Amino acid sequence: MNHELLAVLEYIEQERGISKEQLVNAVEKALAATCQKNLDRRAKNVEAKLNRSNGSIRVVAIYNVVDAIDTFIEKDKNGKEITKDKSDEQITLQEAVQFDPSVKVGEQLRMEITPKDFGRIVAQTAKQAILQEIRKAEKQTIEDEFRDQVGEIVSGTVRRYEHGNIIVDLQKAEAMIPAREKVPSEQYMPGDRINALLLRIANKEKDNKERGRENKEDGLILSRASREFVRKLFEREVSEIHDGIVEIVSISRDAGSRSKLAVRSNDPRVDPVGACVGMRGMRVKNITNELNGERVDIIPFSDDLARYVSNALHPAKAEKIDVDYSTATIHFYVDSENSRLAFGKKAQNIRLAQKLIGGDWKINLILVDENNEDADDFAEEKQRRTEELSNILGVSIETAELLVSNGFLSLEGLSELPEEDLKAIKGLSSEDATIILDKIAQSKS
């Protein structure tokens, strides 16, 4: 059996490119762990050694030789003190000399614990260890192959759905589009070609250790819902962006519905919006086709904040714009018709404009008093929405008013917002954010 094991290790080294030494170390570690579980006497340190020449295996438990075994006090989960000892790593001289008459206090005793029925144990344990090493090696190969493509667009074929996630064949590896990175309105069938952003390479074992919580994702993680996917599509389609002549300053997105893109030119001779739109609109049309009809607003960036906000809220036209630097608020004065345009359907326009401007700035829509009836209607509608949202979410009127001012008029609208964007709303406490996220989760269950 042991000679067969060496032959298997050599075969895997040749066929899979995994070093024999790496495989031997994995088998030794697995055998030590298996034997450790089945000992009559506890042992903290167990070592298994595979002879590289003849395949023989020896397992030893290692103990420190002492005059008397140390004890210590430990509290259980109820706070009760329990006396424990270090018999799993120490052995008295009196007992140790029964195994090695020459051993002395302060030395280590290497007690052989190789099981009698070791052939069966070796076969089962070695197989599991080898398979695990093969998986690790394959995972490392994939990581090395795709590391430089993180943040870039990759192409593949839809293979299947697993628990709401799309599994994509990239030829050299399989990748996954998690449910949260899908565009809700998009539907794909097995065999369909698909483009997506390589978001990251997840390592479940490593991530769980670093984050201290369970992560179920592993391998290549793709996204079609990311703002960066839109950025990369423009970089691919618009040569001026790829060459650095035109710069994308900011992107906001409701995946599958609408995106806003702020651009500026580093060459006064080049119109940034025209470059992105292309001749007869072909460039932006190619991008919207890839996004399955998602609307893309291309907006000229301006260092003049008032003008930038005006561009971002297009097609709404302001009667007046005031920038209050002390409160980081942009007051956007509109008539009743333009207030509807500024908000947009489900407050999408103002919400995307707010995210596009970014930073700590807040856009505050104010209805001009062109006639008292319109102003009163606007104020009443805003108050009604605020009270309704407060009741639905279980938050204060002040918090609901903050949400309405940011363009969130309903639980449905909030549920479309990524968690990190919700938490980033200026003035929203972490406690209120948690309450809102819980309500969103309840509405989806």
Q: Which CATH superfamily is domain 227-301 in?
A: K homology (KH) domain (3.30.300.20)
Q: Does 227-301 match 2-141 at the fold level?
A: no
Q: How far apart are CA 125 and CA 133, in angstroms?
A: 12
Residue 373, pLDDT score: 55
Nearest to 395 by CA among 436, 339, 442: 436
Nearest to 318 by CA among 370, 377, 366: 366
Q: How far apart are CA 166 and CA 164, in angstroms?
A: 7
Domain ranges of the chain: 2-141, 150-225, 227-301
Nearest to 183 by CA among 74, 288, 112, 268: 288
CATH level 3 topology of 2-141: N Utilization Substance Protein A; Chain:P; domain 4 (3.30.1480)
Residue 406, pLDDT score: 73
Backbone φ, ψ for residue 330 (5° rounding): -110, 110
Specify the CATH class of 150-225 in words.
mainly beta
Residues 6+ apart with CB under 8 A from 329: 323, 361, 362, 363, 364
Residue 124, pLDDT score: 80
Distances (CA, A) of 141 to 144, 167, 400: 5, 19, 50
Residue 102 DSSP one-character state: T
Residues 6+ apart with CB under 8 A from 12: 18, 23, 130, 134
Nearest to 64 by CA among 114, 113, 105, 112: 105
Q: How far apart are CA 277 and CA 286, in angstroms?
A: 10
Per-residue pLDDT of the chain (445 residues; tens, 9 = 90+): 567 888 888 888 887 778 888 888 888 888 888 888 877 778 889 998 988 888 888 889 999 999 999 888 888 888 888 888 888 899 999 999 999 999 999 999 999 888 877 777 777 888 788 888 888 887 888 888 899 999 999 999 999 999 889 999 998 889 999 999 999 899 999 999 999 999 999 876 665 455 554 556 778 999 999 999 999 999 999 999 999 999 999 999 999 999 999 999 999 999 999 999 999 999 999 999 999 999 999 999 999 999 999 999 999 999 999 999 998 899 999 988 888 899 888 788 998 999 999 878 888 888 886 555 555 566 677 788 788 888 888 888 888 888 877 777 777 778 777 777 778 777 888 888 888 888 888 877 6
